[in-house]
Structure 1
């Protein structure tokens, strides 16, 4: 029996398990680590076995694959244990890679890291051109509804200003800079920026060092748009390979309207690919 351990069982984790229902019916075992087991049991486990974080180390030891979908803080704190134990790790909160200490722990094995692109795509093209040294400039502009961008560090006036934006008001640029600084301020909103840096890191060296340079090159803009109906991400990449513009608008998750529905869809694809890779290696 193949055993998958989820770190987190919120909107993304629950949608992921629902998307994997055919695999569950074929014998896939899913165990999920949550903060409040009783609360999740009341909502329904969707076929997953629920555990509290106290048993994390033992669950990792018995896992074939670990899947993180719990947010940047939890990813930094707990996910490296999967890599240290030699397990494959699917990382959803890619913003964790913006932190140098976490990069070192996740990218140097012995386990293998799988990065999911989340709510954006086109990474095959961007990764290929970056590997050929064909990109000089990479930028991502994210637009979201203002209320979803309110952060605990904001002053009362700043938070209220976002909450009271109405359709027809001018959009507000909340951030412009590099992905690492963006993640510090908006950890739940700009994971895609770090995923973009990962995809365009290039090749020919240590992944952690390549990603560090890529994080310095990628530019991020985060805009509170009162007219936004869906979250959108616009990517502009250019260099000797040409000029590329990509735009994505994603419908909200059925579990949580503040989360993109594409994140779990992308995660399910990455999980299936990772499981297939495990099965291939076991039959060699």
Structure 2
């Protein structure tokens, strides 16, 4: 019989609530929710004790980050150094190469990433193993309101708010774009992690008032062939910057980590 994995959730929002509830109901194999970390008092809203981050690291075998890139930057290395494993949902933090190197070198805890709202990453990793991918493009399309950022000038904001069709908000690499959209472009970082090169992945972010489903299109070519993946997701009603599929991707990753049999890895 598998050992029980004691899991702590950081962030009781759109992702954390779904993941934490499933854990509390015993729906993730040998994983057990033992605590929740959040900067707001949750009271009876959380199905496990609300504790500080320090307490969570002491109590848990595995921490699930569901609270944003800042948590990964501030706590990631300390979690791993304590011997606790870390599952990262906010992969955009890994576009900071210094941070990524520190996390990958830290231990004895292990670091895991989840694919989140995009598929095909396993195939891109397989193709990459035969040689560098020659071209990788990601186009992400979302509702304008989910993409507004403090750094945007008045002209861009006006074009987004009055748009009647698609507006290109930013074009760049997977190194540049997630920094500008910390809550909306973790997919770009996930694709780059699969490809193994932040600068190879060209990213275009599009605002579209008709995008009632968030759309991600990945196109890649390499020595073994050409690949195209398109996914469309309903946004989370409480946090439209996040697709509703994301917490279920985290749960799938948790099941794989904790040893559930009979699933594709």
TM score, norm. by length of structure 2:
0.89
Cα RMSD after superposing both structures: 2.0
Q: CA deviation at 1:254?
A: 5.1
- Matches of 2:175 and 2:183, distance apart in 1: 13
Aligned counterpart in structure 1 of residue 240 of structure 2, from 257, 260, 280 = 257
Q: Which residue of 1 aligns with 2:43?
A: 41
Deviations 1:140-188 (A, max 9, x none): 10000111101122234433432333xxx23111111111210121111
Q: Which residue of 2 aligns with 1:87?
A: 84
Q: Secondary structure of the residue that 1:252 maps to in structure 2?
A: coil
- Kept after mapping to 2: 8 A contact 1:66/1:87: yes
Alignment of 1:1-284 (within 5 A): 2-23=5-26, 28-37=32-41, 40-41=42-43, 44-45=45-46, 47-51=47-51, 55-110=52-107, 111-133=109-131, 135-165=133-163, 169-201=164-196, 214-253=197-236, 255-276=238-259
Query: Which 4+ runs in 1 deviate beyond 4 A?
Result: 24-27
Deviations 1:34-86 (A, max 9, x none): 1111xx226x11x13222xxx32232122110111111122211222111112
- Kept after mapping to 1: 8 A contact 2:166/2:207: yes
**Which structure features the higher share of helix residues?**
1
- Matches of 2:218 and 2:183, distance apart in 1: 19
Q: Which residue of 2 aligns with 1:204?
A: none
- Matches of 2:97 and 2:195, distance apart in 1: 18
- Kept after mapping to 1: 8 A contact 2:128/2:222: no
TM score, norm. by length of structure 1:
0.83
Q: Secondary structure of the residue that 1:276 maps to in structure 2?
A: coil
Deviations 1:204-229 (A, max 9, x none): xxxxxxxxxx0011111100112211
- Matches of 1:227 and 1:31, distance apart in 2: 40
More moved, 127-136 vs 94-103: 127-136
